[in-house]
Structure 1
Amino acid sequence: MTAKFPSLNALRVFETVSRTKSLKRAAAQLGVTQSAISRQLSTLEQQLGAKLIQRDNKVHALTPAGEALAPELTRIFRQLERIVTHAMREGEQLQRQINVAISHEVYQFWLMPALPEFQQLYPQIELNFVQAAEYIDRQNEELELQRLLRNEVDILVAFGNAQLKTLVASALCRPKYALLQASVGESDLVHIAHQILPTSLFRETGVTAPKQNVARSTLMGGMIAQQQNQALLVPAIYQPQVTRLAHEKAQVDMEQPLTAWIRKADEREFGMVAFLQWLEHRGRKTS
């Protein structure tokens, strides 16, 4: 029959008594009575089948068994304290707010449906969302990226491939454009003005290449398309209620990936690492 393993509390009591060399000092350090200390020591000696100390109100000496056990317990408890302290520090660093710059479209149609999963995994991280451009291009690149450099936001999520030495850019996914048609038959195209579209996009769709109807965001393009009964290009990763009307044969690769930018100084910060890794996982699931 296997002997019952001594409790961690009893081992801690013996280690404290052997280190302080006094039942009274050990009781004060552990916040218990001397009688409780004596009971724990007696129970431990019974479980081990060996006398550990010769004692009255003062510790006279450790027995050979006590001499062998005491330094090992001190080493183990110190190591345990270091491990617990390290874990607590990591937890404290995770308890923070992350300011996320993201467009209404990317937030509502891609990120928001999955946010409960992140909040369940990391309840100690608070996400605060602020408006940003849906696409990063030459016209808005400096304005949007400077928000990171000025510490106004912690992370920027948008379509684009801008690079700066002081920022880390992580491509979350490389989606396609999906073509939504407001009605069956020939119509003009409301085009997101960030890349030249191949002529293959317009074959068998009844949609003609854009002339004047150029939008800088999906939201703006949707308003134009609805008002003028036209077709619209949207990122295919947007949730099904947006893309369910997409023309099956009208898919084209987007030149700009969905990207997350953070400051290089933050790339090892625990909360940021957790959120960025989750975004990358979300990107792989929706690619």
Structure 2
Amino acid sequence: MLMKSQKQPSLNALRVFAVAATAPSFKHAAQQLNVSQSNITRQIQALEEQLGTRLFQRDNRVHALTAAGQAIAADVSQLFNELDRIIERARNLSYTEHTTLKLAVPESFLRWWLSARLAEFYSLYPHVQLHFTTIPLFPEPGSRAHVIAELQHESLDIAIHYGPLKDKTIQQQALYQPTYRAVSAIDSSTAWASRLWHIDVNAPYWALFKRQQPALTKQLQLRPVGNSNIAIDLMAGSDQVTLLDSLYLQHPQLQEFSQAPELSVQLPDAIQLAVKQRQRQPVAVIAFTKWLQSRLHKG
């Protein structure tokens, strides 16, 4: 009789026993586990010492379990079947839980900054899918109320917009404070004030720009547009002007734009990322938020 060890049997030794108990020989067990036959023998011997009993007959002509081995073989096999089931369930959960994030973002932010960086996000988090809808960059009160309701009812996971949402059920983080700068697709000797300006006259940056540049704005020839995307499209191939978030000038299509840094204005509030207030945020929300913040800091 073997002396019983106080050391707990290792999980690896128990799995070796579970395979060897149903295999025709230790050689076959070694092939199933992709290890050497001597490794199987050592694991079984160590397990027998820890349990204080023989599990296999010591007869080279016969590969057979002892009475003790037979008594525990079915239970050990069932234990590992259950463990495999638990592991597979955990893997399936990791692929399905919080894998789709519903985001509402301004079209200009998506088009001129975010879209070019999404490949990096997907490479880091391949099991998180992003479902996009668009919202105004500068939401009116009615749009803000709609965004709040969508977040509260979990129709949205994340909303990105300018200025804070005034609701205690919404958690917000400032992403960056936008600076709007006069830009043109073509450099020209024509004075900036003499060119045609495409401006969203309802945007807060224009109201602030007018207060800071009253003399200039009185002489400008303006053509109102609905947003920055329309302005950029209309300016193509001309020396016409718009005010554009300087963050977007990192986009390859806009990097060659001529800029007038002296004709710029920084907005008082930040672009915000809003989520529903929770004691613990979903993992995918945290992952996207931290990734977005790090990319904005990198540029």
CA apart distance, 1:133: 1.1
The answer for the alignment partner of 2:208 in structure 1 is 197
Q: After superposition, what is the alpha-carbon deviation per residue over 1:251-282, rounded to whole angstroms, capped at 9, x for unaligned?
A: 32122322211112385201111111111112
Q: Is 1:114 matched up with 2:117?
A: yes
User: Structure 1 residues 152, 54: closer, same or farther in 2, change over 3 A?
Assistant: closer
CA apart distance, 1:199: 6.2
The answer for the alignment partner of 1:233 in structure 2 is 243
The answer for the alignment partner of 1:264 in structure 2 is 277
The answer for the alignment partner of 2:43 in structure 1 is 44
1:172/1:284 contact within 8 Å kept: no
Between 33-42 and 264-273, report the one with greater CA deviation: 33-42
Distance 1:233 1:217 in 2: 10
Structure 1 unaligned residues grouped into runs of 5+? 1-9, 18-22, 62-76
Q: Is 1:208 matched up with 2:185?
A: no
Q: State the SS of the aligned residue for 1:237.
A: helix
Between 263-272 and 164-173, report the one with greater CA deviation: 263-272
Q: Structure 2 length as normaliser, TM-score? A: 0.65
CA apart distance, 1:162: 2.1
Q: Equivalent residues in 2 for 1:21-36 (5 A)?
A: 26-27=18-19, 32-33=22-23, 35-36=25-26
Q: State the SS of the aligned residue for 1:265.
A: coil
Distance 1:271 1:283 in 2: 18
169, 173, 176: which one pairs with 2:172?
A: 169
User: Structure 1 residues 148, 227: closer, same or farther in 2, change over 3 A?
Assistant: farther
User: Structure 1 residues 225, 160: closer, same or farther in 2, change over 3 A?
Assistant: farther
2:13/2:46 contact within 8 Å kept: no
Distance 1:32 1:174 in 2: 67
CA apart distance, 1:202: 4.1
Distance 1:41 1:54 in 2: 15
- The number of equivalent residue pairs is 247
2:175/2:270 contact within 8 Å kept: yes
The answer for the alignment partner of 1:282 in structure 2 is 295
CA apart distance, 1:92: 3.7
Q: State the SS of the aligned residue for 2:113.
A: helix
The answer for the alignment partner of 1:64 in structure 2 is none
Distance 1:168 1:34 in 2: 62
User: Structure 1 residues 147, 266: closer, same or farther in 2, change over 3 A?
Assistant: farther
- The CA RMSD measured in Å over matched residues stands at 4.1
Distance 1:232 1:100 in 2: 28
1:94/1:125 contact within 8 Å kept: no
User: Structure 1 residues 140, 41: closer, same or farther in 2, change over 3 A?
Assistant: closer
Q: Structure 1 length as normaliser, TM-score? A: 0.67
Q: Is 1:97 matched up with 2:133?
A: no
Q: Is 1:15 matched up with 2:11?
A: no
Q: After superposition, what is the alpha-carbon deviation per residue over 1:187-240, rounded to whole angstroms, capped at 9, x for unaligned?
A: 36444421432569649xx95356975545212444666799742111110134
Between 137-146 and 154-163, report the one with greater CA deviation: 137-146
User: Structure 1 residues 272, 262: closer, same or farther in 2, change over 3 A?
Assistant: same
CA apart distance, 1:113: 1.0
- Identical positions, percent: 19
Q: State the SS of the aligned residue for 2:109.
A: helix
Distance 2:24 2:11 in 1: 14
2:98/2:283 contact within 8 Å kept: no
Q: Is 1:54 matched up with 2:54?
A: yes
